[in-house]
């Protein structure tokens, strides 16, 4: 894997390193969270642009709870 990372860092374009894992070997512990995966910022599609505007409007309404 170290070789793949070195190659990816040296590449002049976007590179993907795929690492196959066995989740039964070392499971990830449970945690209380979620990922914010936004809609694309740039698109030729009006549907995607509308979804982005909606995402941004809802994002402004988010609040931190602690």
For 28-49, write each residue's pLDDT tens digit.
Answer: 777 777 778 899 999 999 999 9
Q: Does some domain include residue 10?
A: no
Q: What is the three-state SS of 37-55?
A: CCCCCCCCCHHHHHHHHHH
Q: In which domain, by residue range, is 66 found?
A: 35-66
Contacts by 50-56, CB closer than 8 A, 24 or more apart:
none
Q: Does some domain include residue 23?
A: no
* Mean pLDDT of all residues in 2-29: 87
* Mean pLDDT of all residues in 19-25: 84
Question: CB–CB of 5/17 below 8 Å?
Answer: yes
Q: What is the pTM (predicted TM-score) of this model?
A: 0.49
1 has pLDDT over 90: no
Q: Does some domain include residue 21?
A: no
4 has pLDDT over 70: yes
Number of domains in the chain: 1
Instruction: Compute the distance between CA of residue 51 and CA of residue 37 in angstroms, rounded to an integer.
Output: 12
- Tell me the torsion sign for CA atoms 41, 46, 51, 53: positive
Q: Does some domain include residue 44?
A: yes
């Amino acid at each position: 894997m170290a070789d793949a990372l070195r190659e990816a860092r040296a590449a002049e374009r976007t590179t993907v390193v795929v690492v196959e894992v066995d989740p039964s070997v070392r499971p990830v512990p449970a945690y209380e969270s979620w990922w914010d995966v936004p809609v694309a910022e740039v698109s030729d599609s009006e549907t995607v642009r509308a979804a982005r505007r909606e995402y941004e409007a809802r994002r402004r309404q988010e609040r931190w709870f602690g």
